[in-house]
Structure 1
Amino acid sequence: MAKHTATIDPQSPCLTLINVYGVEPGTQADLAKALSEATENTIRHQPGFLSVSIHSSLDGKTVVNYAQWASKEHFEGFMRKPETQEQLKMFAGLATSVAPSLYTVSAVHAD
């Protein structure tokens, strides 16, 4: 299977999930680690998975999960799985707030 490198490209038909978790500074590393381990062990093996990038804010209060899926249908199939729902509950248990949204890329400006 070809490896996908995370890219932000308005020409790509992929779906982007940006999930912003509010956390207490003492749990930021735990949530980032849980997201990373779940991605490595199970999520990356799901049909339509392209990439996940996990970001931790410098103030310790936020973790952002930036995920790319081949299509909305692939993402919805992943979300319907009971094991996915269990993982999401575990992630939410480490957070004070969770704000997921789905996106397409409108434009990219870079040098």
Structure 2
Amino acid sequence: MPKIAADGQHLTVLNLFSTDAPEKQVKLLAAMREIVDSAAYDGWISSTVHAGEDKPGTANFIQWRSTEDLEVRYSGEEFKHRTLPLFGEITTSIRLLQNEIAFVQAKPELDGVEISPQRDDYTAIELFGVAEEEQEDLVDALGASQEYLLDAPGYRSHTVLRGLRARGIEGKFVVSYSQWDGKEAYDAFRAQAEADRTPERRKVDARVSALQTWQDENTYRVVHTRAAGE
């Protein structure tokens, strides 16, 4: 199963697709499975497909050897004339995000961060817009400054991705990818009244709110994964 580490060895691509109906999500997942299962691109390492929970949509967490390898894929006839048109027919938005892993934190009893349908993680993916000169501050606010999460009931891990470039959005961005025991634990954490939050969390929340220029999110379950050579 793919592992996430802030070791700078891979380009991490997060492809986010939104749609407006559950049946279109089913079509998206089928199309993504077909692509992942036939993937044999030079430099491709792994793909992990996620199904939207709170809102219809999908996410594909992909590891590549380099940006150059990815751009070869993007410039190919199959991607331009089959893949993108197919997804365009059944989505309401397409965001193709190139990132580097900036921060990883997991509960001490876990062996790092793994993503796989063999696990039962409830996954939240949050996307934040940010001014270029404040991107590193937001990376820190979402990452190292959130050590308090280790004490949050149901929390398992979170990863912060520094946005490098993207198709489908403009400007700089940061992504938070977090894993939880289940929907109940995640919803309880998000819904906690401000007065009941720790001073540390209130401080960090205020900092994130001040730095972000926009925010979007959805929750997911991992449904399929495959690595090169499998």
Q: Structure 2-normalised TM-score? A: 0.44
Match of residue 77 from structure 1? 188
Asked if the contact 1:17/1:68 (under 8 Å) is kept, the reply is yes
Task: Let me know the Cα RMSD of the aligned residues.
Answer: 2.0
Q: What does residue 103 of structure 1 align with?
A: 220
What is the match of residue 44 of structure 1? 150
The number of aligned residues is 110
For the residues of structure 2 that align with 1:71 and 1:38, how far apart are their CA atoms? 23
Q: Which moved more, 1:81-90 or 1:9-18?
A: 81-90
Are residue 57 (structure 1) and residue 57 (structure 2) matched?
A: no
Give the deviation of 1:49 after TM superposition: 0.8
Identify the structure with bigger relative contact order (alpha carbons < 8 Å, sequence gap 6+).
1
Aligned to 2:133: 26
2:119 maps to: 12
- TM-score scaled by length of structure 1: 0.86
Deviates more, 1:98-107 or 1:80-89: 80-89
SS of corresponding position for 2:114 = coil
Q: Which protein is richer in strand relative to its size? A: 2
- Which stretches of structure 1, 4 residues or longer, exceed 3 Å deviation after superposition? 84-90
Does residue 1:94 correspond to 2:201, yes or no?
no
Q: Work out whether residues 4 and 51 of structure 1, in 8 Å CA contact, stay in contact via their aligned partners in 2.
A: no
Bigger Rg, structure 1 or 2: 2
CA deviation map 1:55-82 (0-9, x unaligned): 1112570100000001111111211222
Answer whether contact 1:92 1:98 (CA < 8 A) is retained: no
| Paired letter, 2:213 | T
For structure 1, which runs of at least 5 residues remain unmatched after alignment?
none
* CA contact 1:4–1:50 (8 Å) conserved in 2: no
Distance 2:122 2:206 in 1: 22
